[in-house]
Structure 1
Amino acid sequence: MKLLLATCAKIPPEAIGCDLALKKALEHRGVETVLRPWDQIEPQEEAKGHAAGVVVRSVWDYTEQSEKFFRWLHGLRDEAIPVINEVDVLLWNSNKRYLLDLIAHGVPCPVTRIVDQDPEIETTASQIPGDRLVLKPCIGESGVGVTLVERHQVAAQAEALRAETGRSDLLLQEFMPEIREGELSLVFIDGHFAHGVRKRPNPDDFRVNGRYRPLAPVLVVPEKEHVAAAEEVLRHVSGRPVYARIDGILRGGQFVLMEIEVIDPALYLDMVPASANALADAIVAAIRPS
């Protein structure tokens, strides 16, 4: 069996330890595994029997050409090529509007509003607590465009961010100062908790994305109630993601969801070989069910 791990052209495959750990685990199970940029994978060609499936991994440039990426996902589905995670789950997770779905199900999240060329953005901002708010594109990754803004500058900053990113729909959120104590990332494989990582921002920043020089992530053993809270989040995701990362902060001891990642999260498999093996087993089972 041959599997393709979809990556991106802007980062050499050998630089992504998580994907290399997964590749090694798959190959140990007799699976031929190829790392290839997603936009170099042709659905019609793969449908001729070249690969048994595509595992979407470090596609860290998809938001730069999102419409092409979405067409590519639809192309894989149209050709009946197995995709992990499932295409519908990936499409749902690609737009941060999904947070509104989770909030509607009672998942604790920062106060969140969508501003889509909203002429009343200052009125919308007044519904969110705090003097500083977080502004970000609804379709975005790696922290691109994530901005901490003063309330009185929201309208100007939104206009500037739209010009910078070309995105009209933006997310406006309550700023959670607890992020400075670290974000808790809980990794799930086939619906089961695998391991936890704490990520802390650089002391001069509030973002934990790699481009902002955060402190090195560390493995942690989370409290049972925090794992249970993340499991509850996962229950509200349509389908059953083979892999997922639930990111949150702790406010008053409660797990508050920041994001759920089922498209291209760092899973820290190179730090936890047992999880790499578990994910390889789950992928093989999903692609080639008994």
Structure 2
Amino acid sequence: MRIAVLVPPPGFHEEWDWAFDVEAAAIRAQGAEVEALPWTDVGDLSGFDLVTPLVAWGYHLDPPRWHALLDRLDRDQVPTLNPVALLRWNSDKRYLAELGDKGIATIATRLVDTMDDAALSAARADFGDELVIKPPVSASADGTHRLGPTDSLPGDVVGKAMMVQPFLHSVTGEGEYSLMLFGGQFSHCIVKRPKAGDYRVQSHLGGREEPCDPPAGAIELAQAALAAAPAEAAYARVDLIRGNDLALKVIELELIEPALWLEHAPDGGALFAATLLQRARQ
């Protein structure tokens, strides 16, 4: 069996081998071949039994190109995990509002089509004086800003579609949890914390992660969030954070190109690889 894993284009600004290598090793341990293909130039896919965008980092930097690739995968009926419909849905963080409408505990979010001072004032009236603003199509904290009570809008967000959320102080103390699930089955959990003086938990920004037991109710919340998605996820990372009301909230579903930290999985990624290959054979 030949598996294509989509990866960043040459010259991408972040190191990605650390994620690809451990995932590819887990798949190869199940007897399959793995080939890395830049998501921006995939070429002929007819010789592959499965295509998965597990490390298609940077797709948010060129949405038209990304959606053209999804259209091609759909049109050519390329066996793809996760399913194309799920990849499209997960490409825009507006899905958080949909999950909230379905009763899933998500971080409170205002979707603003054109960000301006009036929208900022309205968000502060709802969420308090400390906010986080981010683009609905983003990754790795790109374009994300934390605003204090007296901060004005950054120039790069004015007039753009943005998501506004309350700043949750738990991120700098307890941290943000990431639960990995394969075929809906819980595999392992890590907690991510930012470096001192920051709020962003991404490792390339100085954040750190460590394995941990999931907090009470986390697995159930993660599974409920995945059940509310428009298609079944073969692999998923569900990011949770404790709200200011001390309840766990979904802050993000990562169903396209999540770092899965398989090095912390008790089985070394065997469930991950077995789930992908089982779906490929169906």
Aligned to 1:147: 145
In percent, how many aligned pairs have the same letter?
26
Residues 11, 269 of structure 1: CA spacing in aligned structure 2 closer, same or farther, 3 A cutoff?
Answer: farther
Matched ranges for 1:24-35 at <5 A: 24-35=25-36
Aligned to 1:63: 60
Residues 101, 14 of structure 1: CA spacing in aligned structure 2 closer, same or farther, 3 A cutoff?
Answer: closer
Aligned to 1:212: 205
TM, length-normalised to structure 2: 0.91
Aligned partner of residue 139 in structure 2, secondary structure: coil
Aligned to 2:3: 3
Q: Which runs of 5+ in 1 are unaligned?
A: none
Residues 14, 68 of structure 1: CA spacing in aligned structure 2 closer, same or farther, 3 A cutoff?
Answer: closer
1:100 Cα shift? 0.4
Q: Is the 8 A contact 1:110 1:176 kept in 2?
A: no
Q: Is the 8 A contact 1:128 1:173 kept in 2?
A: no
2:136 to 128, 135, 138: 138
Is 2:18 aligned against 1:17? yes
Aligned partner of residue 160 in structure 1, secondary structure: coil
Q: Is the 8 A contact 1:226 1:254 kept in 2?
A: no
Range with greater deviation from structure 2 (93-102 or 9-18): 9-18
1:210 Cα shift? 2.3
1:109 to 106, 109, 126: 106
Q: Which amino acid aligns with 2:119?
A: I
1:13 Cα shift? 11
Q: Is the 8 A contact 1:142 1:210 kept in 2?
A: no
Matched ranges for 1:41-190 at <5 A: 41-42=42-43, 45-46=44-45, 49-118=46-115, 120-151=118-149, 153-154=151-152, 156-157=153-154, 159-161=155-157, 168-181=160-173, 182-190=175-183
Q: Which of the pair is proportionally richer in helix?
A: 1
2:237 to 229, 245, 249: 245
Residues 225, 208 of structure 1: CA spacing in aligned structure 2 closer, same or farther, 3 A cutoff?
Answer: same
Q: Is the 8 A contact 1:52 1:82 kept in 2?
A: yes
Q: Is the 8 A contact 1:2 1:32 kept in 2?
A: yes
Aligned to 1:196: 189
- RMSD over aligned Cα atoms: 2.1
Residues 85, 110 of structure 1: CA spacing in aligned structure 2 closer, same or farther, 3 A cutoff?
Answer: same
Q: Is the 8 A contact 1:110 1:175 kept in 2?
A: no
Residues 224, 110 of structure 1: CA spacing in aligned structure 2 closer, same or farther, 3 A cutoff?
Answer: closer
Is 2:39 aligned against 1:38? yes
Q: Which runs of 5+ in 2 are unaligned?
A: none
Question: Aligned partners of 1:270 and 1:35: how far apart in 2?
Answer: 20
Q: Which amino acid aligns with 2:252?
A: E
Question: Aligned partners of 1:239 and 1:55: how far apart in 2?
Answer: 15
1:183 Cα shift? 0.4
